[in-house]
């Protein structure tokens, strides 16, 4: 029969990464232009009685399936069987076609897991509700990342920016595709260096175990920045929003989550007229994000960041939903 299909997309955290693991709110936007598609093709199970699920990666960023990703996906298949109450054996070739660069803080592992769950559900005729999909993606993220807040598991399936807090999210009245012209433009830039979210989360866990006060101050300050930024976003105060992003970057940098190339890209974005800039996602490499303000600025900001060493930039326009 036809293969089961699942899709998901990248995400970029606007404010609050890492603090979100300790209960702070965070703002995140989907990046619908960076997608992953998974095809799950069932085949007749061989005679030895076991399940057979093989994983392979194709696509714009060919890469071997790393043991970490495979562990997460294998666990996901086990959990899928339980949750979807599959009673027969499961044999399928799962092909992951990802346009999301891995290890860049863009949520590639959660997006792959989400697309894989949806493809399995489709292939085995077991549709799942949103809560079940979230639980399965989150289970696989916990294996891949250690501690995971759940922000990636939700944002990789969202159509609007989200305010995430304590495992649940509220959609913000912000659109990603229209109306035009956009109110603001985010520029996301890849430093070209991989970062390990798992390592970054562990680094902070050790640091916080040694000094509880550093943890409390960080979580409180990031929470305040995120709440203030949310008010700015809702009121269309982009200058304020950008300033809060930059302040959030400084807090992350001071804890050792940034890198020299990312710091240089942040400075370049600000020098080119960006309203704010910061590392995004797990850090220790990966991506940064800048707010360009009016759309006319986006190109200059992107060029500035590229001149500082970015290997790739993406321009993401956002607009407030207008009440008619």
Residue 152 CB, shortest distance to ligand PMV, in Å, is 5
Q: Give the other-Cβ count within 10 Å of 205's Cβ.
A: 15
By CB under 6 A, is residue 185 in contact with ligand PMV? no
Contact 9, 34 (CB under 8 A): yes
Q: Which of 48, 129, 135, 152 is catalytic?
A: 152
By CB under 6 A, is residue 20 in contact with ligand PMV? yes
- Taking CB under 6 A as the criterion, the residue among 197, 223, 248, 258 binding ligand PMV is 197
Q: Which residues on neighbouring strands pair with residue 26, listed in sequence order? A: 164
Q: Please name the residue ranges forming H helices in the chain.
A: 67-83, 108-123, 130-145, 151-155, 197-210, 212-235, 238-254, 260-271, 298-307
- Taking CB under 6 A as the criterion, the residue among 151, 229, 270, 279 binding ligand PMV is 151
| Strand, helix or coil for residue 310 | coil
In the bound state with ligand PMV, the residue whose beta carbon lies nearer, of 121 and 277, is 277
By CB under 6 A, is residue 259 in contact with ligand PMV? no
Question: Could you give the maximum distance between any two Cα atoms of the chain, in Å?
Answer: 65
By CB under 6 A, is residue 201 in contact with ligand PMV? yes
User: What residues from 21 to 50 belong to the interface with ligand PMV (CB under 6 A)?
Assistant: 21
b/e code 99-118 from CB counts within 10 Å (16+ = b) = bbbbbbbbbbbbbbbbbbbb
Q: Determine whether 129 is an active site residue.
A: no
By CB under 6 A, is residue 18 in contact with ligand PMV? yes
By CB under 6 A, is residue 313 in contact with ligand PMV? no
- Using the rule CB under 6 A, give the single segment among 99-107, 129-137, 167-175, 212-220 that binds ligand PMV: 99-107
Q: Measured in Å, how far apart are the chain's first and last C-alpha atoms?
A: 47
In the bound state with ligand PMV, the residue whose beta carbon lies nearer, of 17 and 122, is 17
In the bound state with ligand PMV, the residue whose beta carbon lies nearer, of 276 and 282, is 282
Dihedral sign for Cα atoms in the order 241, 247, 248, 250:
positive
ω into residue 181 within 30 of 0, thus cis? yes
In the bound state with ligand PMV, the residue whose beta carbon lies nearer, of 39 and 248, is 248
- Taking CB under 6 A as the criterion, the residue among 184, 276, 282, 285 binding ligand PMV is 282
Q: Known catalytic residues?
A: 152
Q: Interface residues with ligand PMV (CB under 6 A)?
A: 17-18, 20-21, 105-107, 145, 148-149, 151-152, 197, 201, 281-282
């Amino acid at each position: 029969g036809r293969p089961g299909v699942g899709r998901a997309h990248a995400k970029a955290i606007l404010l609050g990464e890492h603090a979100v693991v300790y209960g702070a709110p965070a703002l995140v936007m989907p990046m619908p232009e960076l997608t992953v598609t998974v095809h799950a093709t069932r085949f007749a199970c061989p005679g030895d009685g076991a399940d057979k699920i093989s994983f392979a990666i194709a696509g714009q960023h060919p890469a071997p399936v790393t043991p970490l990703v495979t562990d997460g996906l294998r666990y996901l298949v086990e959990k899928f069987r339980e949750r979807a109450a599959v009673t027969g054996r499961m044999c399928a070739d799962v092909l992951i076609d990802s346009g999301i660069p891995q290890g860049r803080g863009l949520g590639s592992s959660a997006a792959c897991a989400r697309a894989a769950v949806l493809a399995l559900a489709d292939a085995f005729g077991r549709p799942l509700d949103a809560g079940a999909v979230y639980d399965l993606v989150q289970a696989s993220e916990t294996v891949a990342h250690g501690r995971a807040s759940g922000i990636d598991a939700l944002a990789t399936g969202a159509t609007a920016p989200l305010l995430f807090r304590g495992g649940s999210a509220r959609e913000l009245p912000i659109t990603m595709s229209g109306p035009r012209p956009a109110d603001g433009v985010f520029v996301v830039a890849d430093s070209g260096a991989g970062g390990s979210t798992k390592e970054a989360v562990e680094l902070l866990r050790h640091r916080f175990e040694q000094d509880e006060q550093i943890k409390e101050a960080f979580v409180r300050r990031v929470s305040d920045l995120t709440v203030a930024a949310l008010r700015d976003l809702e009121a269309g105060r982009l200058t304020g929003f950008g300033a809060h992003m930059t302040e959030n970057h400084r807090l992350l940098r001071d804890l050792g989550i940034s890198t020299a190339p990312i710091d240089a890209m942040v400075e370049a974005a600000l020098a080119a007229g960006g309203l704010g800039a910061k590392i995004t996602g797990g850090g220790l490499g990966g991506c940064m994000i800048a707010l360009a303000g009016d759309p006319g600025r986006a190109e200059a900001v992107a060029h500035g960041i590229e001149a500082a060493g970015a290997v790739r930039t993406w321009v993401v326009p956002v607009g407030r939903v207008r009440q008619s």
